[in-house]
Chain A
Amino acid sequence: MTTAAPPVNQLTPLEWVRKNLFKNWWSGVLTILLIPLILVLGYRAFLFFFVNGQWEAVQRNLTLFMIGTFDREMEWRIYSQILLFVLAFGIGLGTNSAAVQDRAEDAGLPYERSSVLATVGRMWSLVVFLGILLWFASTDDVGGLLNPFLLIGAAVAVLLVGFQAFRFPRRLRSAGWLLTATFLVLGFQVVSGFDVGGWLPLGLTYGIAAYMVAPVGRFEAGWLRIVMRLVAAVAVVAVIRTIYALVDSPGIGWDEWSGLHLTLMVSAIAIVLAFPLGLLLALGRRSTLPAVRIMSTMYIEVIRGVPLITLLFMGQFILGFMLPAGTDLSAVSRAIAAMTLFTAAYVAEIVRGGLQALPRGQTEAGQALGLAPPTIMNRIVLPQALRAVIPAMVGQFISLFKDSSLLFIISIVEFLRVRSLVHTQPDFRAVSIAETLVFVAIGYWAFAFAMSRESQRLERRLRVTR
């Protein structure tokens, strides 16, 4: 038997044009009408971007757009943050890539390790944005930033170093994830400061890690093992607390952040907080306990019925009455609280949809095996339900990211608000506002699009074949 190759349908360019642009008379008419329109719009856009546009307002205020009113003396903290985040990203990418490869090998599936380049290609919108920044920064009149090329070079180097985590042997895969988390936290705290109270995120991470890897094999009794695990966890937490107490160096709190930096950080914090809260609300709404169910349902329905702006205002003016007297919450904390509470309600409904879509047989199989209800939830239901709702969830997070521009109404200088500072400067009071607006729009788009692409990749990678 000879194996035949699949038939090749290679069209010549002319055939392609005929098939796709002039298939019948009305598609031909549409093509003839639309091609000039596209050409004209493209030409206008070209003129705006490269010939007529007055980009000086953006160019001279690049630092202002990036970090707003952030203390210029403290800029090094932001550079360190960028490098630490890139390092964490690189390690995560390398570890993830190796983990995917492990699984494919086990299952006997072909797999090619993804390269750093592929990831960068997937996030090309960020590369475009970065390119625009560099283009502006390449002139000598940038006002503040260190040599941006130096920074980018360092970032690329750090990314490549981090990616080497894929060389870790298999048993160190979780160490890769631990390092990723560590550098994320350190990156955050290099700006917000390593003060005494900052031990919590790393303490929690390493405490849990210590609990899981504590060498308790030589203890026979189950309770003794648990006790020894707890001892290990507490010891590790104590060490981390002590380190933080010794270092105790305050940084720049989020009240003093602004610009794109604030937008990104506030969105990230709200996303990280809203996800677990939404998950709990979704489970609460399906709880068999009436009190829990009614409370969750009421919360979700009330929050979903109120505009985010209302919540932001309420956070500023009403939250104070509900908290104990003397609690002094900053404007940014209130805004983060409002955004978190708002998004959690939507996340809850998205997760509930995923839970409902899961076939009943999955739960039943778990029950029939004698698994406890929490095990069924954690090991069978949630992993599948959450995978199924990745696109909707990321959509909600993109929405949150863009809605952070609403913070301007409570006088927080986020990315969009920087424009109004620019246009109060004597030089730019009278210039067209289109350029700054377009620049900010491209900035938002670059990040939102990268998130969307990343969600598509996750969706493909985690897809479950039934």
Chain B
Amino acid sequence: MTSEQQQVFSDATQAKGESVIELRDVDKFFGDFQALADINMNVGKQEVVVVIGPSGSGKSTLIRCINRLEKHDRGTIVVDGIELSDDIKNIQEIRRETGMVFQQFNLFPHLTVIDNITLAPRQVRHEAKDEAEANAMQLLERVGIPDQARKYPGQLSGGQQQRVAIARSLAMKPKVMLFDEPTSALDPEMIKEVLDVMVELAEGGMTMICVTHEMGFARAVADRVVFMADGQIVEVGTPEHFFTNPQEERTKLFLSQIL
């Protein structure tokens, strides 16, 4: 590695400016299996970080630790100045700051689209029904499906469902959005409509961590790309660095397999 390359690499490991998410020395075990090993990373305000890596490398576990869907075993996680602890109040506060979009959408099938979106604002933020529904309609317009508001999730296509899921997360006005392979369960022709929404979100200045296999998305939108393997962060860099000049053998191997 030349010193110039070294410089590029280390510059990119740190977020520029104020950081919204910070992970220090985070370890996570499932029984004896170490899912995350010594993770250090931070995400700056309005930054888009894309996490890639082979399956089982701990990408999903990483972002699920940030909103405590999984409990990390060692290290500290700070979200918007709040350190994640075992206190339920503290956890709730962090969850309100972070939206999450799942691979399987996880919409509530017994509620209409609009009820899916307004449930949390009404229950957690105690918004009035009219206010919450007006907000929800705005969000649905933003993701391009205002005409589906009174339908049930089961009546929508996969792409539409995932866009509803994004709108549902946005309704809580989160500071950070976590995407856990949002397009992996979609039919190919629907991937674009979801990615378009995500691109628009990123351009609007949302802070985002995306676990994804969409390299086109990473190239176009990411400020930084994080490559993980075997529970460790192997390499961090700008998309240009990553796709044109990867340093680590493990990264090269992975990229050669998927590109």
Contact = CB atoms under 8 A, between A and B. Distances in A.
Interface of A: 106-109, 222, 359, 361-362, 364-365, 367-372, 375, 379-380, 383-384, 387, 464-466
Given A108-B151, A222-B126, A379-B119, A368 B99 contact: yes
Q: Chain A: interface secondary structure?
A: helix
Given A370-B96, A379-B123, A464 B102 contact: no
Contact of B150 (A107, A222, A368, A380): A107
Given A107-B150, A222-B126, A369 B112 contact: no
Contact of A383 (B110, B112, B124): B110
Given A222-B126, A372-B92, A107 B152 contact: yes
Contacts of B96: 370
A272 B109 CA distance: 28
Contacts of B112: 106-107
Given A222-B126, A379-B123, A465-B109, A370 B102 contact: no
A371 B106 contact: no
Contacts of A380: 108
Interface string B93-114: 0011011101010111110100
Contacts of A365: 100, 102, 106-108, 165
A106 B111 CA distance: 12
Interface in B117-132: 119-120, 123-124, 126
B67 interface: yes
A361 B153 CA distance: 15
13 contacts: A222-B126, A361-B102, A365-B107, A367-B67, A368-B99, A369-B124, A369-B172, A370-B172, A371-B120, A371-B124, A380-B108, A465-B109, A465-B154
A222 B127 CA distance: 12
Contacts of A383: 110
Interface string B140-151: 000000000011
Contacts of A465: 109, 152, 154-155
Contacts of B100: 365, 368
Nearest to B109: A464
A364 B102 CA distance: 9
A371 B110 contact: no
Contacts of A379: 119, 123
B134 interface: no
Given A369-B95, A369-B169, 12 more contacts: A107-B152, A108-B150, A109-B155, A361-B104, A362-B108, A364-B69, A365-B165, A369-B99, A369-B172, A370-B124, A372-B123, A464-B109
